[in-house]
Amino acid sequence: MRKELLALSLVCLLPAQAQKINMNITEEFSPYVFGFNLEHTRSAVNGGLSAQMLRNRKFAGKPQANLGLSLRWFPIGQRVLFVKSDGDAYTKHICLPNMRRINERSAQVIQNLVEGQTAGMGQQGIALVGGKAYELRTVTRVSKPVSLKVELVSHAGDRIYASHTLSLVPGDDWVTNSFQLTPSASDAEAAIRYTFTEQAELIFGALSMMPQDNFHGLRRDVVENLKQIGPRLIRWPGGNFAGEYRWKDGLLPADQRAPLQAFTEIETQPHTDGYDYHEINTDDFIALCREVGAEPLLTINLAWQSPEESAQWVEYCNGGAETEYGRLRAERGHPEPYNVKFWSLGNEMGYGHMEGPNNPKSYTEYALRHTKAMLSAYPGLELFASGPYPNDEWAAGSAAVLSDYVKYISLHQYLLPPGGLHYASEEAARKTYQGTVENVFAVREHAKNMRRSLDATGKKLFISFDEWNQWYAWYRPSCVTEGMFTARVLHLFINESNGLGMPVVCYFQPVGEGAIVIDQLGSRLTANGQMFALMKAHQDGKLCKVEENDDLSTTATLKEGILTITLINEKYDQERPFSFPLKGKVQEALVYTSDDVLPYSYFSTSPLQVKADRKGISTILPPHSVALLRIKMK
């Protein structure tokens, strides 16, 4: 049906009620409605953006039952003793000792009990690309001279793709060895093995393996996909994870940063046994923002970090070389200040899953102490307050009280269609689709309720809608149904953010949880990600007023004489005509369509047929589709 529709003669276009795009009524809109989160949750960083290929490389958590070997590793040898050593760990924390969870710092001890026996440990599920160089590091201590063999092998161990031998000698300090391995063949299910034959004790403090082409420890392919979706603001390190984060630990080398046990481990770190391995620090995050063209938004650990530590973080990011922490940043290779202006005072404070103050009065007391310390370090900050919003009690008791210092108030929302997600029949799929795409109006109402709550304070306060998504999008495959919802919500934010006083909007979250799907060998945009990449066309344009647009079907922006229009036909199985009384030359016309809307579906793109005559410009969109028009105006 779709191919036949695209082949229709232009003279057969259905009549449509013309939508008027008024290019005489334009306005700027915030670039930060194209914002995203980068939170260390689930597989967004570990197993996602991070280029690190080894799991549990710093040996966090309890050992395997009756074995003594860290989780995610397999034993090698018959008479080998494995012991987890918490008192002799290589990893450490710099600050927040009062926050220490359990089993964050540990080393892996291997005792070979028989001379000549091959002893050691390995890890399976290592995806290799033949001919690609990988960087490896070992941090070790030994009781006597040991020849440590590091091998990349097949799953069964019967093929060796690359190997390297390290000569280790005893000493009082940990020794780091760096080397490269280039496998001779590709293998998506390879293994890595660390073995020795001496009757000796070997202790691993940390291990590492990354592709040589990594970007500040991040995967190049994922960084390129982030560029495609056009982030203009990235919120980091959380979200919930902000309550676990210790920014000063990032001053340590990546291998030495102790893992961070999650307070809400089942929700935030289920894929890494309840621990984050602190693979990204402040410097890496700023480098990422600059690479993809985004402003950073940093969230402090309000519950556990002292106001002095928050101020020191600000100084590290923004201070000149004459300041203590600005000088430290410069000594670490970053002489120019990062000039981070956006800072959030915690995340979702007032909810039971977050530690710290849980009522507006106590939160405000905490926030004021941090605010004054941070502003003393750098007066030009723009601060964000948290809380269980929309909430009139919090608006009056916290947002209004903080309003002399804090102008942005955080709002979050996650949605499911009424009745949940059901795709196993045509009727169920239709109902799920319709409920999902109609949720855009629930997003609008949520923002309006927030606006009413803040306006009631009589203070000039802005909304930061800095978490939005479908509920549990991170635990299921994306599909065109959710892509259509994303397209409609982006139309809502572009068209109405000014009227709502909502200059900041952040999707939760692109990497591995909605917009970019990732496996060990590659990554690609989901249907959601495709819509972000499409709507990027509106960035830096002036918003034009569109009449008869209550259904959010149309967004139009003007830039340098080019009118960019995106159109949405949200109908499940009906075509929709569009008509505009415009005079201009169509320079680009694309339509994003799909044969179905079920999980695992994506949009495909093709040329869109457009009729341009004296009456204007018109076209027809197939069901559940989105279109892009670029018109050179006369």
Is residue 12's pLDDT more than 70? no
pLDDT of 16 = 57
pLDDT at 300: 97
pLDDT for residue 634: 79
Contact predicate 388/351, CB 8 Å: yes
What kind of fold does domain 74-211 have according to CATH? Jelly Rolls (2.60.120)
The string of DSSP letters for 511-556 reads: BTTTSEEE-SS-EEE-HHHHHHHHHGGGTTPEEEEESS-TT--EEE
Helix H or strand E encompassing 2 = helix 2-6
Q: Picking from 93-102, 208-217, 511-520, which range would have the lowest pLDDT averaged per residue?
A: 93-102
pLDDT at 75: 98
pLDDT tens-digit map of 539-559: 999 999 999 899 999 999 999
Q: What secondary structure letter does DSSP report for 425?
A: S
Tally Cβ neighbours within 10 Å of residue 495.
21
CATH superfamily of 32-51+214-540: Glycosidases (3.20.20.80)
Mean pLDDT of 271-280: 95
Instruction: Look at residue 2 in the predicted model and tell me its pLDDT.
Output: 34
- As a whole number of angstroms, the distance between CA 383 and CA 408 comes to 6
559-583 tens-digit pLDDT: 999 999 999 999 999 999 999 999 9
175 pLDDT above the threshold of 80: yes
Q: Is the pLDDT of residue 287 over 60?
A: yes
- What is the arithmetic mean of pLDDT over 337-365? 94
pLDDT score recorded for residue 17: 62
Q: What is the pLDDT of residues 91-120, one digit of tens each?
A: 999 987 777 788 999 999 999 999 999 999
- Kindly state the average pLDDT of the residues 147-166: 97
HEC per residue, 188-247: EEEEEEEEECCCCEEEEEEEEEEECCCECCECHHHHHHHHHHCCCEEEECCCHHHHCCCH
pLDDT averaged over every residue in the chain:
94
Cis before 503 (ω within 30): no
Q: In which band, very low, low, confident or very high, does the pLDDT at 6 lie, cut at 50, 70 and 90?
A: very low
Q: Is the pLDDT of residue 9 over 60?
A: no
**2-28+543-633 classified as CATH 2.60.40.1180:** yes
Q: What is the pLDDT of residue 372?
A: 98
- Output Rg (C-alpha) for the chain, integer angstroms: 27
Whether residue 1 is predicted with pLDDT greater than 70 in this model: the reply is: no
Domain boundaries, the chain: 2-28+543-633, 32-51+214-540, 74-211
**Model confidence at 8: pLDDT above 90:** no
pLDDT at 293 over 70: yes
Q: Is the pLDDT of residue 266 over 80?
A: no
Query: What is the structure's pLDDT at 353?
Result: 85
10, pLDDT greater than 60: no
Q: What is the pLDDT of residues 446-483, one digit of tens each?
A: 999 999 999 999 999 999 999 999 999 999 999 999 99
What 8-state DSSP symbol labels residue 139?
E
pLDDT in tens, 380-396: 999 999 999 999 999 99
Q: What is the pLDDT of residue 7?
A: 31
The token pair that represents 152 in the structure block = 């990349």
Strands 295-299 and 342-344: parallel
**DSSP secondary structure code for residue 62 in this structure:** P
User: What's the CA gap between 239 and 463, in Å, rounded?
Assistant: 16
Domain 2-28+543-633 identical in fold to domain 74-211 = no
Q: Provide CB contacts within 8 A for 64, sequence distance 6+.
A: 70, 71
Residue 4 scores a pLDDT above 60:
no
Contact 236, 247 (CB under 8 A): no
pTM of the prediction? 0.95
CA 527, 531, 532, 537 torsion: positive or negative? positive
At residue 18, the pLDDT reads 78
